[in-house]
Structure 1
Amino acid sequence: MNPLDNPFSPGAGSPPPELVGRDLLLERTTITLHRLRAGRPAKSLIFVGLRGVGKTVMLNRVRMIAIEQGYRAVHLEAREGKALPQLLVPSLRQILFQLDAAAVVSEKVKRGFRVLRSFAGALTAKAKMGDVEIELGVDPERGSGDSGDLETDLAELFAAVGQAAADRSTAIALCLDEMQYLSELELSALIMAMHRCSQDALPVALFGAGLPQVVGLAGRSKSYAERLFDYPIIGPLPLDDVRDALQAPVQKQGADFADEAVATLFQATHGYPYFVQQWAYEAWNIAIGPTISNSDVDEATRTSVAELDRSFFRVRFDRLTPREKDYLRALAALGEDDMPQRSGDIAIALRARPQSVAPLRNGLIKKGMIYSPAHGDVAFTVPLFGDFMRRAMPHWEVK
């Protein structure tokens, strides 16, 4: 069929033509936003799941819902090598300028600018936090947000910005992706800042997303994190939802998927939304139409795997050191279906002592390649990555 009419859109954070299976999560989001806007207590949400389940898509949808409800909403993405203040300062500056746009001067908004200036200046002076210098056209407010202690100062800053939003009868939604890349100090400071907003009943919401290790990181950072946030798990789609995600877009264009083709695509992708989009995209381009057949999906499997090997998997593989590749190849060798494996068994496969491979394990967790679903276990954060490792290193053996 005509590739120009292809409704499917594989890509990092690209919205699917049909968002299915997430209605309950979106309903929880809407309730949280309504309650906070009305001054009622509500837990912020951190979406947790593996790569390719649509966490970024959810965050983008949450941001749009928040904007529709009158929130000032921003999307941020944590990254390796970039400090949390460097991410937050430009976004909070943007929010304050939006709040300052009204004709009537607000002293709360002006104070928000001064505290932000103090916060940025203090952290710039503390070189290890990186350069977060900004132009605001105001003098800093000495003694507020400028101690150089991130936990104390971020709470002061969030409170000042939250008070500015309340003064303008609006609310703020911070949508923070890839939270697993935050340091323990940064995550602790963020939790403390949201705790301050909750205690003061300020209209500030945090919607985060991250790999499964985020839950443990948050709990270790602050014991009350579990009372401050909910951690809904976003997983693969069941067969019925995959069917809806496939049929609804193509039927709008007079085509459909054969029942057997749907079942085959579901089996190949394990229901992970990113892979569903990739397989469906390829199947559409292959099919003569108007019905996408099982043989079309079989051919789409070949082209999809080749494309993922060139891009989705390869970019992660190329970030690994030789020893890290050995570790992941050993993990892949122990289970054909990417199930969790014991850390000790991986050490045995590498013919090494568990203590000697612990730094490799910890480094791979920090890189977001693996996580620990239970004490002593590890598993891939990227679905189907074990299959890729077996293809990428077919003749692997311990050096």
Structure 2
Amino acid sequence: MDPRRNPYVPTAGAQPPELAGRSSFLIQAEIALDRALAGRYAKSFIAVGLRGVGKTVLLNRVAELAERRSFRFAMIEAHEDKRLAALLAPQLRRMTLELSRLGPLTGPMKRLGGVLKSFVSSVKVTVGDIELGIEVPPETGSADSGDLEADLPELFLALGKAAQDRGSGIAVIIDELQYMEERELSALIMALHRTSQSSLPVVLVAAGLPQLVGKIGKSKSYAERLFDFPPIGPLDPPDAERALAEPAREQGVDYTEEALARILALTKGYPYFLQEWGSQAWNAAQASPITATVVDRATEQAIESLDRSFFRVRLDRLTPVQKRYMRAMAELGPGPHRSGDIASMLGRKVTAVGPLRGELIAKGMIYSPSHGDTAFTVPLFDEFMRRAMPFEPG
């Protein structure tokens, strides 16, 4: 069929044509934003799930919800090699400028400008001159110690009070939160704790891999009470079928029941894979309905596309030794697997491969769903690894 009418979007973070099965998460976000804006306690939340479940898509939708409510929002993606202060400072500057334009200068706005200048100076981050329309000197003694755990809460308090003064709110939206260092997570948690205690209109909505829950709990024991951690997983069969069939139906194209069942079995309900298989099936079909035979032809193209993009980009981040560990895991199947079984496949002791396992967890390639277990953070990665490289027994 005409590829120009293909409704599917197999692209990381892109809004799918049919966002099925995520209404509870979005309702939770709307409630938190509305409560914060009304001056009521709003519990921040951090979505956790594997790759390909659509966490980034949901964060983008939350940003839209925040914007509709006149929130000032920061959209940040954490990185292994970039620190939180460097990511936050430009966003905080922009939000301060936006708040300053909402009305005449007031005490809370003056203080925010001074605290922000102190913070930027102390963390030695270059974000350009902080222009608020008037001269605002740095506020000496506030957020200028160089200790993020001390400074970030002071800055968030000033930001929250300025937003409250303007009748606005602040939404801090962070993707890939698992890449933050423990001390940075601690500072962020402390900042949100301070603003929540004062019922200021500041909300954190973040997303990350499953290991994030334990990492946050280790950073601050009270974090599990401060945040909700909604799990984002594969879609259940009715929602997966709707995400696949509805976009085609809007174009006047149907699937046979057998074709839908075939794709749901291959993708296991993961939204990114549904988009990939739907896109390839559309391009492979000559006319409606899309049949199981068409899906079989499309599967080869879908796997080839995933191998050279979705999967390959992650494999290429690994060292040869790390790839060998992942290949040993793949030989055991989809997982999770006992750490001892993986070590045995490599012909080594568990203690000897422990640091290697830790490196892969830090890179977001694997996680520990329970003590002593190891699983891939990328669905179907075991199948890819078996296609990508031979296994070399230990």
TM-score of the superposed pair, with normalisation by structure 2: 0.97
State the distance in 1 between where 2:178 and 2:74 align. Answer: 19
**Is the CA contact (8 Å cut-off) linking 2:103 and 2:166 kept in structure 1?**
no
The alignment partner of 2:146 has SS state of coil
The alignment partner of 1:148 has SS state of coil
TM superposition shift of 1:104 = 1.5
Question: For residue 63 of structure 1, what is the aligned residue in structure 2?
Answer: 63
Question: For residue 208 of structure 2, what is the aligned residue in structure 1?
Answer: 210
The alignment partner of 2:138 has SS state of coil
State the distance in 1 between where 2:389 and 2:246 align. Answer: 39
State the distance in 1 between where 2:86 and 2:96 align. Answer: 16
**Is the CA contact (8 Å cut-off) linking 1:178 and 1:210 kept in structure 2?**
yes
The alignment partner of 1:97 has SS state of helix
Describe the superposition over 1:64-114 as per-residue Cα deviations: whole angstroms up to 9, x where unpaired.
Answer: 111112211221100110000111111111111110113412221221121
Structure 2 unaligned regions, length at least 5 = none
Aligned residues: 390
Matched, 1:372 2:368: yes
State the distance in 1 between where 2:39 and 2:74 align. Answer: 20
Describe the superposition over 1:37-63 as per-residue Cα deviations: whole angstroms up to 9, x where unpaired.
Answer: 111112101010000000000000111
Matched, 1:359 2:355: yes
Describe the superposition over 1:120-158 as per-residue Cα deviations: whole angstroms up to 9, x where unpaired.
Answer: 11111xxxxxx4454114431110001111101000010
TM superposition shift of 1:34 = 1.1
TM superposition shift of 1:288 = 0.7
**Is the CA contact (8 Å cut-off) linking 1:21 and 1:241 kept in structure 2?**
yes
Matched, 1:382 2:378: yes
- AA in 2 matched with 1:136: I
* Range with bigger deviation, 195-204 or 246-255: 246-255
The alignment partner of 2:137 has SS state of coil
Question: For residue 226 of structure 1, what is the aligned residue in structure 2?
Answer: 224
Question: For residue 128 of structure 1, what is the aligned residue in structure 2?
Answer: none
TM superposition shift of 1:334 = 1.3
The alignment partner of 2:89 has SS state of helix
* Range with bigger deviation, 362-371 or 65-74: 65-74
1:237 to 215, 235, 257: 235
Matched, 1:85 2:81: no
- 1:275-294 alignment, distance < 5 Å: 275-294=273-292
Post-superposition, which runs of at least 4 consecutive aligned residues in structure 1 deviate over 3 A? Answer: 131-134
Calculate the aligned-residue CA RMSD, in Å.
Answer: 1.0
The alignment partner of 1:141 has SS state of coil
1:185 to 180, 183, 190: 183
The alignment partner of 1:313 has SS state of helix
The alignment partner of 2:60 has SS state of helix
Question: For residue 112 of structure 1, what is the aligned residue in structure 2?
Answer: 112
State the distance in 1 between where 2:319 and 2:103 align. Answer: 56
State the distance in 1 between where 2:312 and 2:127 align. Answer: 36
State the distance in 2 between where 1:276 and 1:167 align. Answer: 45
State the distance in 2 between where 1:102 and 1:29 align. Answer: 25
Question: For residue 127 of structure 1, what is the aligned residue in structure 2?
Answer: none
State the distance in 2 between where 1:175 and 1:202 align. Answer: 17
Matched, 1:5 2:5: yes
Determine what percentage of the aligned residue pairs are the same residue: 54
Structure 1 unaligned regions, length at least 5 = 125-130
**Is the CA contact (8 Å cut-off) linking 2:368 and 2:375 kept in structure 1?**
yes
The alignment partner of 2:204 has SS state of strand
TM-score of the superposed pair, with normalisation by structure 1: 0.96
The alignment partner of 2:231 has SS state of coil
State the distance in 2 between where 1:382 and 1:231 align. Answer: 20
- Seen in structure 2, the aligned counterparts of structure 1 residues 52 and 209 have a Cα distance that, compared at 3 Å, is same
Question: For residue 329 of structure 1, what is the aligned residue in structure 2?
Answer: 327
**Is the CA contact (8 Å cut-off) linking 1:118 and 1:140 kept in structure 2?**
yes
Question: For residue 398 of structure 1, what is the aligned residue in structure 2?
Answer: 393
- AA in 2 matched with 1:64: E
- Seen in structure 2, the aligned counterparts of structure 1 residues 339 and 247 have a Cα distance that, compared at 3 Å, is same
- AA in 1 matched with 2:393: V
Question: For residue 194 of structure 1, what is the aligned residue in structure 2?
Answer: 192
State the distance in 2 between where 1:133 and 1:333 align. Answer: 48
The alignment partner of 1:320 has SS state of coil
Question: For residue 24 of structure 1, what is the aligned residue in structure 2?
Answer: 24
State the distance in 2 between where 1:299 and 1:265 align. Answer: 12
- 1:95-134 alignment, distance < 5 Å: 95-124=95-124, 131-134=125-128
**Is the CA contact (8 Å cut-off) linking 1:176 and 1:209 kept in structure 2?**
yes
Describe the superposition over 1:204-250 as per-residue Cα deviations: whole angstroms up to 9, x where unpaired.
Answer: 00000000011001000000001110000000011111111122111
- AA in 1 matched with 2:109: V
**Is the CA contact (8 Å cut-off) linking 2:90 and 2:127 kept in structure 1?**
no
**Is the CA contact (8 Å cut-off) linking 1:246 and 1:257 kept in structure 2?**
no
- AA in 1 matched with 2:389: M
Matched, 1:346 2:342: yes
Describe the superposition over 1:178-222 as per-residue Cα deviations: whole angstroms up to 9, x where unpaired.
Answer: 001000000010000000001111100000000001100100000
State the distance in 2 between where 1:12 and 1:330 align. Answer: 27
* Range with bigger deviation, 6-15 or 245-254: 245-254
